[in-house]
Amino acid sequence: MFSKEYFKYLFRSKKYLLLLIALITLMNVIGNQSDGIMLLIQVFFTMVLSFAMPMDVFYHVHNRKAVDTYFSIPVSRKALMVTGCVFSALVTFFPAACAIIRNTLGDRDISTLLLLAETLLDCASVTVFNSVLYLIGNNIIDGVVMMGAYTFMPLAIIGILNSFVYSYIAGLRSIEFFEARLLSPLYMGFYLLDSSWNGNIDYLSLIGLIVVLILFSYLLYRSYVKRAAERADSQSTQFLSYPFVINFYLISCLFLIASFYNYNYGNLGIFVKDYFFLYVLLFAVFVAAYFLYRRKFYFNYRLPLFYVIVMLISLLCAGVCMKYDGFGLSGCYEKAKGKDYCTISAWVDYHNGIYEYVKEETGEDPQYVQIFIEVGGDDASFHPAMSEKTSDLIEEIRKKAIDYFYDDRDDLSDIGVLYISGKDSRKYYQYDLNEGLDLQTIVEFAKDPAVTVMIGTYNKEYQLMTDGSLRVSQVYEQ
Amino acid sequence: MLKINNVYKGFAEKRVLNDLSLEISESSIFGLVGVNGAGKSTLLRCIAGIYRCDAGNVEFNGEDTYLNEQIRKDIFFVNDDPYFPLAANIKSLKEFYASYYPIDEEAYYKALKMFDLDENKQISSFSKGMKRQTLLLFALAIRPKLLLLDEAFDGLDPIVRYHLKRSLYEFIEDNDAIVIISSHNLKELEDICDSYGILEKGRISTYGDLLESKANINKYQLAFKGKIDESFFDQFDLLHQSKEGSVYTLVIKGDRDEIVKKLNELQPLILDTLAVNFEELFIYEHEGGRQDVL
């Protein structure tokens, strides 16, 4: 399984590269560690190595001449694979290990050995993961393209999900139910090391990295040991290479554009007019991606057909999502009833009577007015509990905001935040709370002894006009 | 003994090797010939265990060569476009090969002297011929039981070619090895090979002992006084027929004496029998094959 001879050969043949790595590591270790830049350089350097080493060690499978040599020498492919991975992982680990030792020696709060073990696991997982990505292609360029494409895939997934959630699910700014870090060993590595540095162990990332190591070791076995040598330097036609990557990014981009449809417009005609150029540009990129894939100009009626079909599906999905209140997800929220603490913070408009009240009370003519309602407190023993009426009021405001989000409207602004905190959870919701927050409602809130209402007034330059704000008592006393 | 058993190999839509079977015994130099794209390099890669056969297998001394590192200790493949690691020189390459193959130091230095190569010079600065010599140097130093040479003589100067041939003879005698050489240069192969195979349409269409084959195919030149009935020639295994003036040139496969006896029945004015060389043998066999197809 492991070839000592091949390891020695790798070590000897890459002595200049290793020397350079040692030199950079040395500079980093003796550098000023209090300077954050040195740490940043270290992280960046380790990341670069985790990509560069698999490319260097598995270069031969993408070179027609080299593959003849490597696959004909009397060393099993398994041994070449294992030895190459061990070598890559160790080279990637070395600078990181030096930095960890340098930074943690003498610090009793942090276990150096634990951090080293975690870093080694991280380096091994990322090396195996990146090796698999590099081997998806059939030549060096495609190998690099695949590494980049698959590395950014989690970001694309998160971006699109967040954009859709933000545009179509009232109240939510981003996905909360999704552990995005599990999509990439790089992110898991960062989480794991960051948590250990702060004295905790992120078990989810730890298990995730172990799973990646095992799963991708098997995939590497499939893509290296079972690899057809004739793939070297040929077009990457395998499903997981360009066909999947191009379609994935196309679908992602079209759904990303579709996510703008609802939030900004809700009117298909205006939307298509405004985004027409973007659609054309995306199609041009789509054709260019096929050029990169085929290494020649390729145009087939299936390309525009597929493009239009996906575009229509994405818009249809957006429309359905809008019609059915974000597939019902806008109604799945944490209710205020029974919670210890709740705040509502919102900028309000002229229409709800608050501006007039402020003018009367202060004699000022504010440009902007902000309402801050605080119910209860984090420590329940010091604060009166929220009344049922108050919690009903909160839900009423929220319901109006959700209805407003999904009704026809000209404009929508994220000008209100609802924060609900209980024993087990803390949730933020972002709504346009204008519809529900009028003077009468604020007065109702203020009747509850558990509630504090503050009204901030601001001039054109967003400078606070009154010293602090009007207190709730002033409102209630009216 | 090298046994190739019903090997199929294709790339995408194209089938290159099609139910190819062949046996080659020890102590022989086998010339593998075929037109461009016939699949010579593919066959050599299948033998070397680099390519997996779609069906069938290649056995060397009873062991399948694919993914078998033990049997590959006895096999060395010199491809038509050698690969050398970046900044490698012959010395560093020796370290690389010495890690996997037993290197005969005496043979190494002998070959180094024969090729007149500088051990310490970077291989990237070598000419195409010198790069090929570098790999041949290791082929001779490793002394494998099965040596596969893909277009090995290309780019070599005549003196080197001469020395290489002599070294290969010695190598075969000392090792009971098999050498398979693929080449377009049939004149070169003729001097060195004792057996040959013609690869055509994915199969070995003709193979055997080179001397025997050459003896079995002859060129006959005949001239007649008047017109003759050309259908008389149909009784022969005719590979080629042409006529210039009154002189017929026939290439016929078969026993020379019997053919001469039959041709004399036509009472030719002249009847000359000429031996064919390997190149002609290949051309006539190949043409014959094409005529069969047509």
Which residue among B201, B231, B266 closes a domain? B201
**Contact between B45 and A68 using a beta-carbon 8 Å cutoff:** yes
**Contact between A74 and B11 using a beta-carbon 8 Å cutoff:** no
Backbone phi, then psi, for A463, in 5-degree steps?
-95, 140
In a domain, B208, yes or no: no
**Contact between A229 and B83 using a beta-carbon 8 Å cutoff:** no
Same-domain check for residues B227 and B183: no
Segment B58-75 mean pLDDT = 90
For residue B272, the distance in angstroms to the closest alpha carbon of chain A comes to 49
B11 touches chain A (CB under 8 A): yes
Distance CA B155, CA B123 (A): 16
Distance CA B157, CA B152 (A): 12
Same-domain check for residues B63 and B182: yes
Distance CA A264, CA B116 (A): 77
In a domain, B97, yes or no: yes
Distance CA A201, CA A121 (A): 14
CATH of the domain at B136: 3.40.50.300
**Total number of domains constituting chain B:** 2
Of residues A457 and B220, the one with the higher pLDDT is B220
Instruction: Locate A405 and state its tokens.
Output: 């989000």
What is the pLDDT at residue A217? 96
B82 touches chain A (CB under 8 A): yes
A positions 2-31 inside 8 Å of B (CB): 5-6, 8-9, 12-13
Q: Are strands B146-150 and B2-11 parallel, antiparallel or unpaired?
A: unpaired
Same-domain check for residues B273 and B178: no
Same-domain check for residues B132 and B247: no
Distance CA A471, CA B10 (A): 84
Set of chain B residues whose Cβ sits within 8 Å of the Cβ of A73:
72, 97, 100-101
B49 touches chain A (CB under 8 A): yes
**Nearest CB to B100 within list A5, A60, A63:** A5
- Confidence class for position B87, pLDDT limits 50, 70, 90: confident
Same-domain check for residues B49 and B162: yes
A233 and A138 Cβ atoms separated by less than 8 Å: yes
Same-domain check for residues B280 and B189: no
Residues of chain A with pLDDT under 50: 468, 472-478
For chain A, domain boundaries: 4-231, 245-329, 333-477
Set of chain A residues whose Cβ sits within 8 Å of the Cβ of B51:
228-230
Segment B201-221 mean pLDDT = 83
Segment B198-214 mean pLDDT = 83
* pLDDT over 90 percentage in chain B: 35
Pick from A65, A230, A236, A294 the residue to mutate for testing the B interface (most B CBs within 10 Å). A230
What is the pLDDT at residue A265? 53
What is the pTM for the complete model shown?
0.83
B126-175 pLDDT, tens digit each: 988 899 899 999 999 999 999 999 988 777 888 888 888 888 888 888 88
A positions 224-283 inside 8 Å of B (CB): 225, 228-230
* Residue B17 pLDDT exceeds 90: yes
B20-32 pLDDT, tens digit each: 999 998 888 999 9
Q: What is the three-state SS of chain A?
A: CCCHHHHHHHHHHCHHHHHHHHHHHHHHHHCCCCCHHHHHHHHHHHHHHHHHHHHHHCHHHHCHHHHHHHCCCCCCHHHHHHHHHHHHHHHHHHHHHHHHHHHHCCCCCCCHHHHHHHHHHHHHHHHHHHHHHHHHCCCHHHHHHHHHHHHHHHHHHHHHHHHHHHHHCCECCCCCCCCHHHHCHHHHHHHHHHHHHCCCCCHHHHHHHHHHHHHHHHHHHHHHHCCCHHHCCCCCCCCCCHHHHHHHHHHHHHHHHHHHHHHHHCCHHHHHHHHHHHHHHHHHHHHHHHHHHHCCCCCCCHHHHHHHHHHHHHHHHHHHHHHCCCCCHHHCCCCCCCCCEEEEEEEECHHHCHHHHHHHHHCCCCCEEEEEEEEECCCHHHCCCCCHHHHHHHHHHHHHHHHHHHCCCCCCCCCEEEEEECCCCEEEEEECCCCCCCHHHHHHHHCCCCEEEEEEEECCCCCECCCCCEEHHHHHHC
What is the pLDDT at residue A474? 45
**Contact between A73 and B100 using a beta-carbon 8 Å cutoff:** yes
**Domain extent for B282:** 213-293
Which residue among B176, B201, B226 closes a domain? B201
Please choose, from the candidates A352, A348, A397, the residue with its C-alpha nearest in 3D space to the C-alpha of residue A370.
Answer: A348
Same-domain check for residues B33 and B149: yes
For residue B136, the distance in angstroms to the closest alpha carbon of chain A comes to 13
B275-290 pLDDT, tens digit each: 887 777 778 777 664 4
Same-domain check for residues B188 and B268: no
Set of chain A residues whose Cβ sits within 8 Å of the Cβ of B72:
72-74
CATH of the domain at B221: 3.30.70
Closest-CA residue of chain A to B42: A230
Same-domain check for residues B228 and B191: no
**Nearest CB to B11 within list A67, A77, A230:** A230
Same-domain check for residues B196 and B217: no
Same-domain check for residues B185 and B222: no
B33-52 pLDDT, tens digit each: 888 888 999 999 999 999 99
What is the pLDDT at residue A478? 41
Q: What's chain B's average pLDDT? A: 87
Which residue among B201, B235, B267 closes a domain? B201
* Residue B291 pLDDT exceeds 50: no
Pick from B69, B91, B92 the residue to mutate for testing the A interface (most A CBs within 10 Å). B69
